[in-house]
Amino acid sequence: MFDFLSDYNDPTLLGAFWMTVKLTFFSAIGSLILGTFLAAMRVSPVPLMRGFGTAYVNIVRNIPLTVIIIFTSLGLADIFGVTMGASDFDIRGFRLAILGFVAYTAAFVCEAIRSGINTVPLGQAEAARAIGLTFSQTLRMIILPQAFRSVIGPLANVLIALTKNTTVAAAIGVAEAAYLMKGMIEKEAETVLIGAIFAFGFLVLTLPTGLFLGWLSKRLAVKR
């Protein structure tokens, strides 16, 4: 049923861009989940949680993505033996790349969501506490739904950046678009043409996404 997800080393142009789409899709889901938890930590009334969230965001945002991706491969896999449940090299590289992208992108998702939380009037949180709601209930039922509607635009920018950042996965041998482009350039003389083809491919991936999420952001904007 899920055979279309199982090819991790398709040498064709469409296969390479399909790998880019899969990396973006799974990394985006993981980043949104982890980023939301980090944002909740950053606005938490518990000092330890606030400190952890702040430290994570400040540290990860200032580490180059290439360093994080290589660490997930060489550090986690080769040194600590983390295989993400996969014995095959291609599958393991794919999963470790997603882990690296999630760890990195979640810091930016966190800051986008936190900015949306700050747009929610303080009186709403105070009213929620007055009727007996806990912090987690207030966050889940009142603050986050409004925050997400306020930050669709910024999250769209993070998603587009993530799509382009997937090219870094080529550093650990994941057969996505940049990996194939590198191989084609080494074998062919038409460097400009090959570069133009791959640039157009990324434009096809990112431009419709940006336009749709921009429209959605205006459609769902919270009226203040």
9-219 has CATH 3.40.50.720 classification: no
Query: pLDDT digit string (tens) for 57-101?
Result: 999 999 999 899 888 877 777 766 666 665 666 677 888 889 999
The answer, yes or no, to whether residue 197 has pLDDT greater than 70, is: yes
* Domain boundary assignment for the chain: 9-219
What is the pLDDT of the chain when averaged over all its residues?
83
Q: How does residue 24 score in pLDDT terms, banded at 50, 70 and 90?
A: very high
- Look up the pTM and report it: 0.84
* The pLDDT of residue 5: 44
Q: What is the 3-state secondary structure (H, E, C) of the chain?
A: CCHHHCCCCCCCHHHHHHHHHHHHHHHHHHHHHHHHHHHHHHCCCCHHHHHHHHHHHHHHCCCCHHHHHHHHHHHHHHHCCCCCCCCCHHHHHHHHHHHHHHHHHHHHHHHHHHHHHHHCCHHHHHHHHHCCCCHHHHHHHHHHHHHHHHCHHHHHHHHHHHHHHHHHHHHHCCCCHHHHHHHHHHHCCCHHHHHHHHHHHHHHHHHHHHHHHHHHHHHCCCCC
